[in-house]
Chains A and B, each alone.
Chain A
């Protein structure tokens, strides 16, 4: 998306382009190259900044930093998440790291990255005391060996299960209350599937969307888990009843014919586009959808764009659980100018940024007062954020209590097909006995964790299965930084 790229970037491109023309002979440029050979080193030049977030709220803060510090230029590059991960891995191995970047979960567990020397501490250069993020920092998540490395900006309690609809296009009047229970949702979906317009644009192409659907719907059905581990028992629960119920619910919608038939070739953004174009009535996704709609399909705003509630088995869903929100921006250990980087990052822990986030209708910020204060957002967006507060809770993070847990996680090897792939297989009828597949996966992944625990423990780490058990956790309430003690 062009307009999401930084202005600085485009200006540079134009300049280098003009330079190329002025030089006349393109081949000449090829011999000298126009890049500086070692990306981020040196005290001069622009601060390099890579992220996979929405530029609409990031760039204003960076602009503020640059206008307050005329000597500092920041070059931001926005990547899609998967590209960012490849870029960072390759960059890390070839000394092409930016000064600041986001750490997508696929990059690896944060504390392992810290241990591998990816980052330098933020706290050496700035003090976050007095900001809205100060009391949201968790040891083992943002703080390592007593040093602050990063801080969260997203609230993190944001499920991706909101049915976004365009009311005027529905073939009949629908009371959103009727779609709150799973059965009701199914009935409504069946009824609005008409005249080649399907109820739901369901994105079954890649595993990520399916993972979210399955895990969060299982939560709605009562599984008290994060990533398939129930923190009341420490066990993997992919084969528990709530997961089976969630599977059945999704498969039932599919066999009802409610899903757009191209599900197998749609990623989430394809699904959004088809929904926006009117091929489906419901885009079943996260809180940022109003932002995407406002930027790209503003015509929908006048057609009754609305948010329904996340459906639960019998109406209101059980809470969906989330780990403490991870740090957003990290200073690369390759950066030669950590002070500048820290300065720029710290500028995000301000009311202005939080207000920008809300006004961009992005994922909600960690400072809830910004949501209440925001003026310029559409009503379904705000209402959905308030709903999220009812429907989502923080769970504990095992690595916050015992950092060695992460060694186990990084020792573990993936097992395929994983639950998202099993769901995909069930939807496309390549896996007939998905119950059996889930049971097998659960026992294999449990065995793999046992093996990893043993391997890590034999290397001297103090870790056991109990590290995943939090008997004092009340799943109905948020688990906060104080609860670890």
Chain B
């Protein structure tokens, strides 16, 4: 017993001296906090507060025309769970991710690899052209593709002309194809920036490795296989993560092209949220917030699982 109280007293003194030391350090490091101030203030106001607020909204019954909502607990979430359209949008978002992400990352790598080779001509020109869609605003791209991809547009005329299609397909207006067409346009728009990431990654590979390989008589394929790919693995994880976050940020593109239709076939979660918040007969902000939170939770879980998987894969790689 006395031993215990002695330890407690000791730890109390230790704690007090800890606190003193903290104060001293904080006073000495005042400039550090000054450096951090813009971030702390900005982050608090523009990230933490809105995040907490939107979580709070998700517990409210809040029609769009009202200034304020009333608390209804978990009711929004209960409704969401049984809302088929929410799950439809949820699924569409993940299909978007599962197809669009590998395409974007993979195609970006192919382009970057080719455009980093000295053997290829006009590299600057190619890079610029592939980058062009990245800086084009979503509304414009929406307009162009609605007309380029429709059943009397150029794409269909070519495909039917050379006999690939018997019947024109209204790519964005047919529920069987609308989501995939939207994914295609998304890849088209953003692959340019992924290509830049990969170009940067390729630049970090020391030139000597290639020279050594060439002395050994390796051909281009062997070079790529033995040197380029292994060196790129760490970047693959970073680039995939960055692009995955972007894949959940497709609002303006889809809104201008299909607005989620026809019949919800291309409705991703952001469109669902927007529709719930603004476009139904009685807009429901609480419900929209709940949908955003629930989807975000799912996405976070998946991101964590993916992160763990990637870490495991990396570990295995290092070992072998």
Contacts and interface: CB of A to CB of B under 8 A. Distances in A.
B263 A262 contact: no
A449 B165 CA distance: 48
B67 A92 contact: yes
Interface in A261-297: 261-266, 270, 279
A265 B172 contact: yes
Interface string B129-171: 0000000000000000010011111000000000000001011
B106 interface: no
Contacts of A429: 175
B170 A108 contact: no
Contact of B151 (A92, A204, A205, A262): A262
Contact of B261 (A107, A117, A414, A424): A424
B282 A413 contact: yes
Most chain B Cβ neighbours within 10 Å, of A106, A204, A264, A270:
A264
B280 A205 contact: no
B18 interface: no
Interface in A383-438: 409-410, 412-414, 416-417, 421, 424-425, 427-431
Contacts of B258: 205, 265
A261 B263 CA distance: 16
Contact of B170 (A86, A264, A417): A264
Given A410-B282, A428-B263, A93 B173 contact: no
Given A89-B278, A92-B67, A430-B262, A261 B146 contact: no
B184 interface: no
Interface string B271-305: 00000001111111000000000000000000000
Contact of B173 (A112, A116, A266): A266
B85 interface: yes
Interface string A428-471: 11110000000000000000000000000000000000000000
B298 to A, nearest CB: 21
A379 to B, nearest CB: 32
B252 interface: no
B172 A414 contact: no
A430 B63 contact: no
B66 to A, nearest CB: 6
A234 interface: no
Contacts of B284: 413
Interface residues of B, number: 36
Given A264-B170, A412-B282, A416-B85, A118 B65 contact: yes
Given A205-B262, A263-B173, A93 B278 contact: no
Contact of A85 (B171, B174, B278): B278
B232 interface: no
A10 interface: no
B282 A205 contact: no
Contacts of B264: 416-417, 421
B259 interface: yes
B259 A205 contact: yes
A205 B262 CA distance: 6
A409 B151 CA distance: 40
A89 B150 contact: no
A380 interface: no
Given A262-B170, A414-B282, A112 B65 contact: yes
A86 B84 CA distance: 25
A113 interface: yes
B151 A261 contact: yes
A336 B73 CA distance: 38
A206 B261 contact: yes
A30 interface: no
A7 interface: no
A107 B66 CA distance: 11
A32 interface: no
B151 A106 contact: no
A265 B282 CA distance: 26
A265 B150 contact: yes
A414 B280 contact: yes
A255 interface: no
A266 B143 CA distance: 11
A205 B175 contact: no
A414 B84 CA distance: 13
A142 B85 CA distance: 36
Interface string B237-249: 0000000000000
Contacts of B84: 416
A429 B173 CA distance: 12
Contacts of A263: 170, 173
A317 to B, nearest CB: 27
A196 interface: yes
B194 interface: no
A69 interface: no
A205 B263 contact: no
B195 to A, nearest CB: 29
Contact of A428 (B168, B175, B281): B175
B64 to A, nearest CB: 5
Given A261-B168, A265-B170, A424 B281 contact: no
A405 B290 CA distance: 28
B200 to A, nearest CB: 29
Interface string B61-87: 001111100000000000000001100
A264 B65 contact: no
B152 A264 contact: no
A270 B279 CA distance: 20
A414 B281 contact: yes
A292 to B, nearest CB: 19
Contacts of A265: 146, 149-150, 170-173, 257-258
Given A264-B174, A430-B175, A205 B261 contact: yes
A1 B175 CA distance: 31
A13 interface: no
A205 B281 contact: no
Nearest to A89: B64
Nearest to B153: A262
Contacts of B172: 264-265
Nearest to A204: B262
B265 interface: yes
A86 B278 CA distance: 6
Given A428-B174, A428-B265, A430-B262, 19 more contacts: A85-B278, A106-B279, A106-B281, A107-B64, A116-B67, A205-B262, A261-B151, A261-B152, A263-B170, A264-B172, A264-B175, A266-B150, A270-B146, A412-B282, A417-B263, A417-B264, A424-B262, A425-B262, A430-B265
9 contacts: A89-B278, A108-B282, A112-B65, A204-B262, A264-B174, A265-B173, A265-B258, A409-B282, A416-B264
Closest 10 CB pairs of A and B: A264-B173, A265-B173, A108-B65, A262-B150, A261-B151, A425-B263, A265-B172, A264-B262, A430-B175, A262-B151
